[in-house]
Structure 1
Amino acid sequence: MAISSRSAVAIHALTMLARWSERTLTSAEIADSLESNPVLVRRILGSLRDAGLVESTEGRGGGWTLARAPRAITLHDAYAAVETGPVLTGHAHPPSRECEVGRNIQALLETEFREAEQAMEERLGRTTIAHLVQRVLDRERELDLQR
């Protein structure tokens, strides 16, 4: 099972937009920070725009900005905007009905996985983009003191 990186990309982009909120950022600038492709970043930003988290302006001087205050955007908002379906899923093929484990494991895993997803969503809902910006700035100050 591969875990998607879309949430990490979305949260990174939102944090950049919050950090440099006095101006718009281009998808290329965000992609440079991610060391990624601007096309991938534009796709993620498009999903964030559809969710009402960012806005874009076209033309000269255009780019991306936050649509809401950083304190009003949670990590769960970013996750929900870009992820489709649950992170944890059951068997790709139905297990054997002839085996007692096979007959019962899917129902048991559904409960466990659903509760795990709920816990993850609750945790992501406690952290805002504003929190991450502050933590980035704090870590930068620590790094400056170490240099």
Structure 2
Amino acid sequence: MPHVLDVRFSSALTTLLFLAVAAEEGQAVMSSAQLAERLGTNPSLVRKLLSSLAKAGLVESVMGRTGGTKLARPPQDIPLAEVYLCAVGDKPLWTCRPEAEHACLVSTHAAGYFERLTERAEQAVLRTLGGQTLADALREIRCSGHSQPEPLK
């Protein structure tokens, strides 16, 4: 059985990065179809993602014929920890194996240990992401690229 990775956070972050670049380039909004094309997915999944981001106050919808979605705040005011929490909700970083019969030291205490380990890892993730903003992410992406990116269409 192949392992499926959770891409909600990376999808949310990438979506916000697309919107930030579009705003810099004078494109007021992007449609869900445009974002879906960029993300390589379908517009209905993007609309679901945008709904969560809107509820969290990270994006806002612009109605009308030329409507779409734009950032609700400047990139420097969007901490990555907020994006992460919006994307993953209360889903833990890892899930513990189902508990086995409590027959020995390991089977009796492994689940509790794993729960504490997961909590510490989650706090480390939030500390790391809390110290960075969407603007920081965009700056780092630009610095790591060797060629000039093409403008968004």
Written as runs of structure 1 = structure 2, the 5 A alignment for 1:1-147 is: 2-21=4-23, 22=26, 23-84=28-89, 85-91=91-97, 93-140=98-145, 142-144=146-148
CA RMSD of aligned residues (A): 1.5
Give 3-state SS (helix, strand or coil) of 1:65's partner: strand
Q: 1: distance between equivalents of 2:141 and 2:102?
A: 51
TM-score normalized by the length of structure 1 = 0.89
User: What TM-score do you get using the length of structure 2 for normalisation?
Assistant: 0.86
Give the drift of 1:137. 3.0
The number of residue pairs the alignment matches comes to 142
Q: Deviations over 1:28-67 (max 9, x none)?
A: 1111111111111111111000000000022211000111
Deviates more, 1:82-91 or 1:109-118: 82-91
- In structure 2, how many angstroms separate the alpha carbons of the residues matched to 1:132 and 1:28? 24
SS of the residue corresponding to residue 4 of structure 1 reads coil
Matched letter for residue 96 of structure 2: G
Offset of residue 3 of structure 1: 3.3
Identity of aligned residues (%): 33
CA shift for structure 1 position 136: 3.1
Q: Distance in 2 between matches of 1:124 and 1:57?
A: 28
Matched residue of 1:121: which SS?
A: helix
Look up the equivalent residue of 1:143 and give its one-letter code: S
**Does 124-133 or 51-60 show the bigger shift?**
124-133
What are the ranges of 5 or more consecutive residues in structure 1 without an aligned counterpart? none
Q: In structure 2, how many angstroms separate the alpha carbons of the residues matched to 1:133 and 1:123?
A: 16
Please state whether the residue corresponding to 1:43 is helix, strand or coil: helix
Q: Quote how far apart the aligned CAs of 1:135 are.
A: 2.6
Displacement of 1:112 in angstroms is 1.0
1: CA distance, partners of 2:143 / 2:32 = 25
What's the CA shift for 1:74? 1.7
Q: Distance in 2 between matches of 1:68 and 1:132?
A: 15
Instruction: List alignment gaps of at least 5 residues for structure 2.
Output: 149-153
